[in-house]
Each structure stands twice: as C-alpha cells, then as structure tokens.
Structure 1
Amino acid sequence: MNTRTTATGFLKAAALACAAALAMVTVQASPAAADETICGHQVGGDILAKYQSMGGESSPLGCPTSDELTTPNGRGRYNTFDGGSVYWTATTGAHPVWGAIRDKWGAIGWENGQLGFPTGDELTNPDGQGKRQQFEGGTVYWHPTLSNGAHPVRSKIGELWGQYGWEGGEFGYPTSDEFADPEYNGVRQTFSARHISLFWSAGRGEPHGTCIGECVGYEGTTNVPWVKETRVWKAVHNGDIDIFVYPTDKGFDDADTDYNALWDQAWSAVPYPKGITDSQGSSLYKQLACHSRYAYKKPDGSHVTGDSWDLETWRPDVSWDYALSPLTVPFHQCNWT
C-alpha cells in the first residue's frame, strides 16, 4: 500500500469533516448574526423580520423596550416595544399585539390564559371601525363605540355567533366577556344588538327539553305589545330546538286575534333560528297559534299555558283543524306528537 496515498486520503477526509463542522457552526450561528441592536435592545429572528416589515422604529411599535425573552411557559419568544409586543412560536409565527386587544389578552393571562398565543396580526373588520385578532383559543373583538371595550369570543358561543354573521350579523359585537351562569350550568355572553345574550350550558337535566344535555342558544327582550322575551335553545348532540315565547299581559289577552302579527313580534327580540325547515316552521307557527288561543286565565291569575308558550322543532306539522280544534286540544295541549 502506498503510504503517501493513504496519508493524502486521511487529510482529505479530515478536511471534509472540518468543513462539515464549520458549516454546522455557520448555520447555527446565522440567527444570532441576524440580530440587531435597536434603541439599545436586541431584536432578532422572526420577531425582527416582523418588526422590520411593519416599518421598524417608525411603525406603531416604536422602539423596543426589552431584549428578546422566553415566555414563562417556555413555548415562545417575545420582545416588548413602546407601542406593544411581538410574540413568536414555531407554530404560530411572529405577531404584534397592542392597544385594547393586548390589554384584554394580558388581563386574562397572556399566552398562559385561555386564548394562548396570537395566530394572526390585528385586522380591521369589514365595517372599517372595529378590530379583531385571532388567538389559539379564540378571537378578541373591539369597536370604538359598540363593544364596550375588547372581548374574546370563543368555543361554542363563538361558533353560534359566527353562524349568524359574526360582528356584522344578527347579534353585533360582544359587549362582555363570558361570565358564569349558575342557573344554566354554563356561561353567558352579551352582545350589542337587540339586548341579546348568547349562552352555553353543559346541561340542565330534567325537565329542560333540549337543554337536558349540552346546549347553546340565545335570548332577547323587546318592547312590542304582545311579546316581552323570546328564548331559543339548541341541543348540541342532535340540533333540536326549543323556543320559549314570553307574552305580555296584553299578549295573553289579545294575541290570538292576529297570528301573523304575533309571529312577527315573537321574532322581534331575536333572530329566527338557522336551519329550520319549512315544515318545522309551519309546525312552530301552529304551536304558537294554539298556545295563544287557549291561554285561559286561571282563578289565581296565572294562565293554563304557563308563563311562556313553548314551541319545539321536533313536533310534526299537522292540519290547522287538528292544531286548533277544541275537540283535539284537550288531548295534545298544543304539544302534539
């Protein structure tokens, strides 16, 4: 064997190994090399790239007020700035958080709270005035006059709200955070349109119809002559809907004189439920007419139908004669099967 050839091969192999090691050091060092000192603080990596894309020191963030730091939960990194913060994780990317939305996010625990890390930048809503920002656990909404501050919308209430058009739909902007509702065994949240609140319940048990188990829904008050409140409950597991129409005193006395007007007034407080078929709608209309016609007052001043007229989507559509005949009503009591 030629020793010169062997030595040369060894030197080449050693050189290649050194080059590979140097390349690894170079790749590992590149983020540090990209760091910049701005206003006396270190900003680097994706946070620096986001900051620069926004205009750097001339952006709404202004000067950094901290070096890049690790979040307390160890998942991400962040820098604070005069005008807010930029948070980063490997899965969410880097996003600025500022103003009323940042204040709300911070008040409920920052990245360790129910919302987690931001997954997008702050956006302007289609109305041109409101703002929103998406987080891992929900979205925070703010409007200068309609929202009463910034509020997160999330989970089942957020899903229901979205089905009706988000902030531009039937319910408007959130005007509160979720708050506990012991009566409903769940949580409730208020919204700007029509004195409406949305709720989620883990289940109320017997005899609460669709809310015997997990349910969602909405409730609203109004000032029309015949109806003072309407409640809509929806079972999560099968989509069945209960509707509770609470008549005024005048409604108990006079609502059976015009079923169309009564129907319109029942929906003046809340939106008509999504997904109801024509057949279900016809049955609901007849159930309401039946309750209003036979809402006799008892000697104690209460009514035979109770405080509310209960309508249920799973009841079949029947003939008007069957729904309202004095011969059949004693048997079905406006709750036919």
Structure 2
Amino acid sequence: MSTRPDGALEAATSGGRGASRLVHWLSARMRPVSRRDVLVGAAVAGSALATNPRTYALRPVAAYDTICGPGNTPSGGWSIFCATVNKGANTCPPGSFAAGWWKAAGSSWCGGGYRYIVDCNATCSKCTSGCSDHICDSRCWSCSCSHGSTATCDQRLNCCNAFRYGQCNTQVSCSGGVHCRLVSCVPPYQWERCTTTSFSDDRTAEHSSPYLPQWGPISSHYKALGDRASWLGASLGPVRVPNDGIRRGTYVKYQNGFIYDTPTTSASAVTAFVWGVWAGSGGTSGVLGYPTADKTTGLKDGGWLQPFEGGCIVDSASTTTQVVWGYRWTVWKANGRENGVLGYPTAGYVDLGSGAWIQAFQNGCIVDSTATTTQVVWGIRWTLWQSHGRETGVLGYPTGPLVQRSDARWIQRFQRGCITDSASTTTQVVAGVMWTAYSALGEDTGILGFPSGAVTSRSRGTSQAFQKGELWALTGKAAYAVVGRILSAWQSEGGATGPYGYPLANTVTAADGTMSCRFEGGTLTA
C-alpha cells in the first residue's frame, strides 16, 4: 500500500501522538475494520507503531503485524480460512484472487515443515475509488465484512482486513481487502502466479479450520504428490470416514480426485474418473475394497492400472476401462497381466448362471464353473473354443490348463473334448464320441497320434483323421479306431461305403504283430 497523495498519512503519523492518530486514520481508511480492531493490533505492536508507524503500516516485515495474534475469534484480528467460508474448498472464493503469501515454520499441519499461507483478496468489483494506494475503498469490495459462525472454531474475520502483500497476480494493480486465506505445504509459486519473494510469520503455523485436512498419511501423500501443484488440485474438505457401514478407512476429497487410506493399506490417490468406475463396483464396501497404490501409467499400448485390495481397474488405448477382481485378478497377475498371454481385459465379469462365470481378454479368457476349476484359455484355443460355441458348444468348459509337450506339441482338455496341435499338424478340435475314443486310446501318445483334420460328416456317420489312423462312428454310436495296415486294407475295399461298412471295434495288434478289426461286414486281418 502506498501513501495517499493528499498527505493524510503524513499528517496522521507526524507529531508526538502519531501512533494514536495513525490508529484513527487506519480505522477510517480501512473500514469495515473497526478502530477497536486496529487498537488490538496496536497494543501488541505498540513499539513498532511508536518508532516508525508509517513504515510499519505500509511495509510490514512479518505477516499481519498490523493485526497480530493467533486467536480464532474476531477480536484476534486474523482473517478466516477460505475452507471455512467456501464450502470446504481450500481455494479462493468466487470474486477473489491469490494476492500474496507468507510461510510459517514448524507447522504440525505440514508434518513439522513449512506451511504456506496465501491471502485471497477481494476484487474491486463495485467501484475503483481509493486505488491510488492499490487498495480500493471497502464499499468497492466484492465481499462484505463479517466473521465466522459460532458453529465453527474458525470465527476469524471474513473480508475485513485492508491489506495485501502483493507477490501474487501482480498484474492486478488494485484490489480489495483480504477475503480469506488458504494453505499449502508447498510454496505457492509452484501452483499459482506468485513470485518467490518470501515473508514469514511462525505465529500462524498452527492456525487452522475444521474444514482443512489434518496431517497424517493422506496429507503426507498429498504433499509427496505435489500438494496444490499436483493433479489433485485443492482439498474440498477435511479427512472423512466413508459412509459404507464398515468405517475402517478415511479419505479426503480434492478438486480432481481423492486420497484413501486404511490401517492396512498405504494412502493412495484416485482420479475422479477411476473413482466413478470404482463407485460403480461398490466403492470401499464393494468387490475391490480400498486402493493399495496410485494409478500406474505408461503401460503397454498406452495402458494404465490402479490396484485395489480385491482387484484392479485397468484400461489401454485398444480397450475400454474394465474391472478385474477376485480370483480373476490373481490368475491374470500369475499369467503376466497385460504383458502376458491374455493381454488387457475387454469385458467385465459375466455371470453365466449356475455358479459359472467368464471374463474375456484381448487374447483369451479366464473361466470357471461348479463342475470345473478356474482355467485360462488363450491364443488359438480361445479362437476355436469361441467358434465351437464356447461353454454351450461341443467342448463344454475347460478342465485343465494348456499342457505343453516336447517338439511344439500341446493339448488343452475340456469337459467333452480337447484342442490340440503339433509341429507336423494343424490345430484341431476333438469332441464328443471322437474325444471319448481318442481319450481312451491315449490321446496323442496312443495309437492315433495327433489329429490331422476336423470331424467330417459321412453317410450314416462321421469320421476324423489322425496322424496314424482314423476314427469312425455311426450316427448316435461310439467311435472306433482304424489304423495301420487295417486302414489301408479297408480303404482298398471301399471303406465305410464298401462291403465292410463301419468299424464296430478298435483295431488291435496281436503279439505276433498281426492286426485285426471287426466291421459291420466282417473282420479284416492284416
């Protein structure tokens, strides 16, 4: 604040009773601050007023030396906290702006470190008279002088103190008085248009409001993220307990998200978007429980993931946001998560009825039923299982994992069949009566080897080719194996359409190497 050109301040501070006249002049100039309010400050800082009143009033060296005292009542002279008058928001209310700041050392509200207090000054929204000293007349201010309600401990002055430090938003040359003050544990020049010029007043280190978060794991994590300079923005209220009927954790709401904490989890930040998905899954009392870490970004394919006690919320550039929870979360992690065989989830948990469920991923699924155990189906097996009707098709639910043989051979078994392949064949499905016979004959290690073709419809039945033979089945009947020399002899006689017809038993080999097989039209021996 500069001296007025009419010389009023010179007159007020001259002569033997300069301090008394200054009090009278300030009380008239700075209304709605009363003369009594200024006298309270004068009583505390009397020596400063007596020795150099003009310098003291216009160029203070410590915060609020003109109206000092740590009290929380109007008589203390301190400005109210913005959170008290701004519905819990630790921000400048509408019609005010960050105008100046100071710091206070050893504040328990910042873990024993520095606390930074920012004055939010009113704008001169109604007129601009009196701006020659950069503070417009009180009748021009965008707010009116009052004090905090007796319903709160923060009963300090609201829009009463005609004062401005001036290190913030210096482009605003004239302002009203201090509307309220906000706080941060990081310097305001990191998150507001402020200079690094610093003032100090350690008396304000413990000033507070019931609408500000207390120091603890949440505030500590908030500070580590950057406090007001972080993506979270300003706090919008104190530490609260979720209204979930469990009440085992706490949280603080911020402009762009939340931080949650429990005795068994670390304080974790949640974006507003993730919070919405989480709330849709039941929030703190739902399947996910509390977050256990912040969101991790920069994953494969532009993905991100946030872990919770019971699962995660995850997304990527190629998928939509999904929730993975329960045993699916355990299995997905065990299979390499987004970098593993399944990739990212493409859908949520789906209840298939009768205790069965499935969750689909980019390259497969995790699935279970009451008659099976939880299994992963991925790659070509996932493609073929889907094309064959999935759990309602010929294969049913998977009963085991992918089994890798030597030489690129593998098999995955299902309730009514298998999907299998080898280096010398293509991937095939063996199901129904073919699977019953194939399984009984030792699968790929038996007399047939790996399947080399799909099931083919025939006159009166079906067949399927294998490396070492064929399976044939009359409609509605069991399948039987025709292999080796018997297969060649049978085919030379016209096969199933020849005089021998369909096989009625598996080909057997005697001790002397003789092979035989019983058919509808008789027995072949070779």
TM-score by length of 1: 0.58
Q: For the pair shown, which has the larger CA radius of gyration, 1 or 2? A: 2
Secondary structure of 1:49's partner?
A: helix
Q: 1:91 to 1:246 in 2, by over 3 A?
A: closer
Q: 1:188 to 1:169 in 2, by over 3 A?
A: same
Secondary structure of 1:70's partner?
A: coil
Give 1:84 shift: 0.5
Identify the range of structure 1 (34-43 vs 174-183) with the bigger mean alpha-carbon deviation.
Answer: 34-43
Aligned amino acid, residue 318 of structure 2: L
Equivalent pair of 1:217/1:234 in contact (CA under 8 Å): no
Aligned amino acid, residue 120 of structure 1: A
Equivalent pair of 1:124/1:132 in contact (CA under 8 Å): yes
Q: 1:38 to 1:284 in 2, by over 3 A?
A: farther
Give 1:86 shift: 0.4
Aligned amino acid, residue 106 of structure 1: A
Identify the range of structure 1 (38-47 vs 111-120) with the bigger mean alpha-carbon deviation.
Answer: 38-47
Q: Does 1:137 align with 2:307?
A: no
Q: What does residue range 28-67 of structure 1 map to in structure 2 within 5 Å?
A: 38=183, 41-44=211-214, 45-67=216-238
Give 1:31 shift: 7.3
Q: What does residue range 270-289 of structure 1 map to in structure 2 within 5 Å?
A: 283=445, 288-289=450-451
Instruction: Give the Cα–Cα distance (whole angstroms) in 2 for the partners of residues 47 and 54 of structure 1.
Output: 11
Secondary structure of 1:43's partner?
A: coil
Give 1:106 shift: 1.2
Give 1:220 shift: 2.0
Q: 1:113 to 1:49 in 2, by over 3 A?
A: same
Equivalent pair of 1:38/1:63 in contact (CA under 8 Å): no
Identity rate, percent? 20
Instruction: Give the Cα–Cα distance (whole angstroms) in 2 for the partners of residues 124 and 281 of structure 1.
Output: 46
Instruction: Give the Cα–Cα distance (whole angstroms) in 1 for the partners of residues 308 and 447 of structure 2.
Output: 42
Equivalent pair of 1:77/1:89 in contact (CA under 8 Å): yes
Give 1:158 shift: 2.8
* Partner residue in 1 for 2:426: 262
User: Of 71, 77, 90, which aligns to 2:263?
Assistant: 90
User: Of 480, 502, 506, which aligns to 1:331?
Assistant: 506
Instruction: Give the Cα–Cα distance (whole angstroms) in 1 for the partners of residues 346 and 284 of structure 2.
Output: 23
User: Of 362, 372, 379, which aligns to 1:192?
Assistant: 362
Give 1:192 shift: 1.8
Q: 1:107 to 1:287 in 2, by over 3 A?
A: farther
Equivalent pair of 2:444/2:450 in contact (CA under 8 Å): no
Instruction: Give the Cα–Cα distance (whole angstroms) in 2 for the partners of residues 86 and 329 of structure 1.
Output: 71
* Partner residue in 2 for 1:75: 248
Give 1:178 shift: 0.5
Give 1:330 shift: 3.5
Q: 1:77 to 1:217 in 2, by over 3 A?
A: same
Secondary structure of 1:303's partner?
A: strand
Equivalent pair of 2:249/2:260 in contact (CA under 8 Å): yes
User: Of 304, 320, 324, which aligns to 1:148?
Assistant: 320
Identify the range of structure 1 (92-101 vs 173-182) with the bigger mean alpha-carbon deviation.
Answer: 92-101
Q: 1:164 to 1:74 in 2, by over 3 A?
A: closer
* Partner residue in 1 for 2:375: 216
How many corresponding residue pairs?
242
Secondary structure of 1:187's partner?
A: strand
Give 1:160 shift: 3.1
Equivalent pair of 1:180/1:187 in contact (CA under 8 Å): yes
Instruction: Give the Cα–Cα distance (whole angstroms) in 1 for the partners of residues 482 and 219 of structure 2.
Output: 70
Residue ranges of structure 1 left out of the alignment (5+ in a row):
1-29, 204-210, 248-254, 267-279, 306-321
Give 1:109 shift: 1.0
Instruction: Give the Cα–Cα distance (whole angstroms) in 2 for the partners of residues 220 and 97 of structure 1.
Output: 34
Aligned amino acid, residue 146 of structure 1: S
Secondary structure of 1:74's partner?
A: coil
Give the RMSD, CA atoms, in angstroms: 4.2
* Partner residue in 2 for 1:202: 370
Residue ranges of structure 2 left out of the alignment (5+ in a row):
1-106, 116-181, 185-208, 402-410, 430-441, 465-480, 488-502, 509-526
Q: 1:233 to 1:87 in 2, by over 3 A?
A: same
Aligned amino acid, residue 127 of structure 1: K
Instruction: Give the Cα–Cα distance (whole angstroms) in 2 for the partners of residues 50 and 74 of structure 1.
Output: 21
Cα-to-partner distance string for 1:190-232 (whole Å, 9 max, x where unaligned)? 1123xx33212232xxxxxxx3xx3423262269xxx868877
Give 1:282 shift: 5.3
Q: 1:110 to 1:298 in 2, by over 3 A?
A: same
Aligned amino acid, residue 297 of structure 2: T
Secondary structure of 2:506's partner?
A: helix
Give 1:304 shift: 5.4
Q: Does 1:111 align with 2:284?
A: yes
Equivalent pair of 1:229/1:245 in contact (CA under 8 Å): no
Q: 1:62 to 1:284 in 2, by over 3 A?
A: farther
Aligned amino acid, residue 213 of structure 2: V
TM-score by length of 2: 0.39
Give 1:187 shift: 1.4
Give 1:96 shift: 0.6
